A = this chain, B = another copy of it.
Amino acid sequence: MTQPRPKLEDPLGAFCTDTEAYLPGSTGGPLSGLSFAAKDIFDVAGHVTGGGNPDWKATHGPADKTAWVIQKLVDAGAAMVGKTHTDELTRGILGENAHYGTPTNPKVPGRVPGGSSSGSASAVAGGLVDFALGSDTGGSVRIPASFCGLIGLRPTHGRIPLDGILLQAPSYDTIGWFARDPEVFAKVGAVLFQNQIPEGLPTRLIVAEDAFEMASPEVAAALQPAVEAAKEMIGADRTERLSPVGLVEWSAQQQVLQGREAWDTAREWISQVNPRFSFWVAERYMTASSTNDAKVAKSKVERQEVIDRMDELTAGGGVVCLPTSPAPAPPLGQSLAERRDVLSRIVSLTCVAGTTGRPQISVPVAEVDGMPVGLSFLGERGSDELLISLAGKLFANLSD
């Protein structure tokens, strides 16, 4: 069923060179003429899904079936032109892969692209494809969108079927995508949600004070004009603190629960294969493997507190506005010690959507010293289309 892939130009190191996965788009669909790439966690029939780890690749056979989401896009006319690099088994937020190298961030030379959907973000930001699929378990679409200056959505958990993807932690895994252009972004959304993207706007904006405090002052300041524009567009806003206990606390329970679930998903394979991982990734699994059940039980209670608090805060259709990332893309090759602080602050921001299963869209609205930073909108479950509409209108507003 597969056809030979046309030659791919890839000056960014975004694409996997060890797979020829390629699917031409069906003719006449709404996405005709558009090209896309898919993170190498999405199955394409007849090809091995590599997952960013050579030992995963070596111990798995070719996929029987193409992932639901890829098939949907191809049936709608888009051409899948290649698989893109990912952090190992999607564990990572910076996009540095110790085995395959780091895709270039075309917007900020010398800085990471963000991950784990690193190659997809790089390929879209560099204009190699019109859009690209990623996945977001703990921030893996939102963060590279912010670092590479793209629109990126983490959808409502469960809205896009996970069939045919390499899972990290299924209660948290979502499929998202990146585009430069809001119209392309919306077209893809209409296909994947099998729904029209409305023209509406949320009725109420909640500016997350504690989330802006988590960001560096430079990032918070750079995002301010876009926040003001959003307030004006929506017409009703208030400023609130999301977490009564602090966002770092909020992220801790997700680290525990997502980590445990990721360990449960991978542990048998890890024991069988003794795979090579970068130390940081092995450390994630190890930490999760030694988490005791009491801590898991306590974290589940804390998770429910996050869910309840967010339900209360957004009751009646409120959309929360927050920085996508506390900082622009960090430099390439930082030590593990140097990364620790920014990683902790990143997950303190990304955990809200992950924990609540809510959709969050990142919009490239500003720069800090020439480096993109995204502004995020987090809505109620099922409000994905509304967020896409808001992103498009804000993007247009700021481009005027």
Binding site for B on A (CB under 8 A): 55, 96, 98-99, 270-272, 274-280, 282-283, 285-287, 335-337
Least Cβ–Cβ distance between A98 and chain B, in angstroms: 5
Q: Chain copies in the assembly?
A: 2
Note all chain B residues with C-beta closer than 8 A to A277: 276-277, 279, 282
Q: Are the CB atoms of B98 and A55 closer together than 8 Å? A: yes
Q: Which of B99, B279, B336 contacts A282 (CB 8 A)?
A: B279
Complex formed: what's the CA distance from A274 to B335 in Å?
A: 7
Q: Are the CB atoms of B336 and A276 closer together than 8 Å? A: no
Complex formed: what's the CA distance from A99 to B337 in Å?
A: 25
Q: Are the CB atoms of A274 and B280 closer together than 8 Å? A: yes
Complex formed: what's the CA distance from A282 to B337 in Å?
A: 17
Q: Are the CB atoms of A282 and B286 closer together than 8 Å? A: yes
Note all chain B residues with C-beta closer than 8 A to A285: 279
Complex formed: what's the CA distance from A98 to B99 in Å?
A: 13
> Could you pull out 22 A-B pairs where Cβ atoms are within 8 angstroms?
A55-B98, A96-B274, A98-B274, A98-B276, A99-B276, A270-B336, A272-B335, A272-B336, A274-B278, A274-B279, A274-B335, A274-B336, A275-B278, A275-B279, A276-B276, A276-B277, A277-B279, A277-B282, A279-B282, A282-B282, A286-B286, A286-B287
Least Cβ–Cβ distance between A334 and chain B, in angstroms: 9
Add 8 more A-B contacts to A96-B274, A270-B336 (CB < 8 A): A98-B276, A270-B279, A271-B336, A275-B279, A277-B277, A277-B279, A282-B282, A282-B283
Complex formed: what's the CA distance from A138 to B275 in Å?
A: 23
Least Cβ–Cβ distance between A188 and chain B, in angstroms: 34
Complex formed: what's the CA distance from A154 to B335 in Å?
A: 36
Note all chain B residues with C-beta closer than 8 A to A280: 274
Least Cβ–Cβ distance between A279 and chain B, in angstroms: 5
Complex formed: what's the CA distance from A209 to B344 in Å?
A: 53
Least Cβ–Cβ distance between A325 and chain B, in angstroms: 20
Least Cβ–Cβ distance between A362 and chain B, in angstroms: 26
Complex formed: what's the CA distance from A278 to B336 in Å?
A: 18
Q: Are the CB atoms of A276 and B278 closer together than 8 Å? A: yes
Complex formed: what's the CA distance from A335 to B267 in Å?
A: 11
Complex formed: what's the CA distance from A271 to B271 in Å?
A: 25
Complex formed: what's the CA distance from A276 to B279 in Å?
A: 6
Complex formed: what's the CA distance from A78 to B98 in Å?
A: 40
User: Closest residue to A96 on the B side, CB-wise?
Assistant: B274
User: Closest residue to A287 on the B side, CB-wise?
Assistant: B286
User: Closest residue to A282 on the B side, CB-wise?
Assistant: B282
Note all chain B residues with C-beta closer than 8 A to A337: 271
User: Closest residue to A337 on the B side, CB-wise?
Assistant: B271
Q: Which of B55, B276, B286 contacts A283 (CB 8 A)?
A: B286
Complex formed: what's the CA distance from A350 to B270 in Å?
A: 27
Note all chain B residues with C-beta closer than 8 A to A287: 286
Q: Which 6 A-B pairs have the closest CB atoms?
A: A282-B282, A271-B336, A286-B286, A271-B335, A272-B335, A271-B337
Note all chain B residues with C-beta closer than 8 A to A286: 282-283, 286-287
- Most chain B CB inside 10 Å of its own CB: which residue of A276, A287, A335: A276
Note all chain B residues with C-beta closer than 8 A to A98: 55, 274-276
Complex formed: what's the CA distance from A275 to B283 in Å?
A: 12
Complex formed: what's the CA distance from A276 to B278 in Å?
A: 4
Note all chain B residues with C-beta closer than 8 A to A283: 282, 286
User: Closest residue to A280 on the B side, CB-wise?
Assistant: B274
Note all chain B residues with C-beta closer than 8 A to A279: 270, 274-277, 282, 285
Least Cβ–Cβ distance between A231 and chain B, in angstroms: 41
Complex formed: what's the CA distance from A55 to B336 in Å?
A: 15
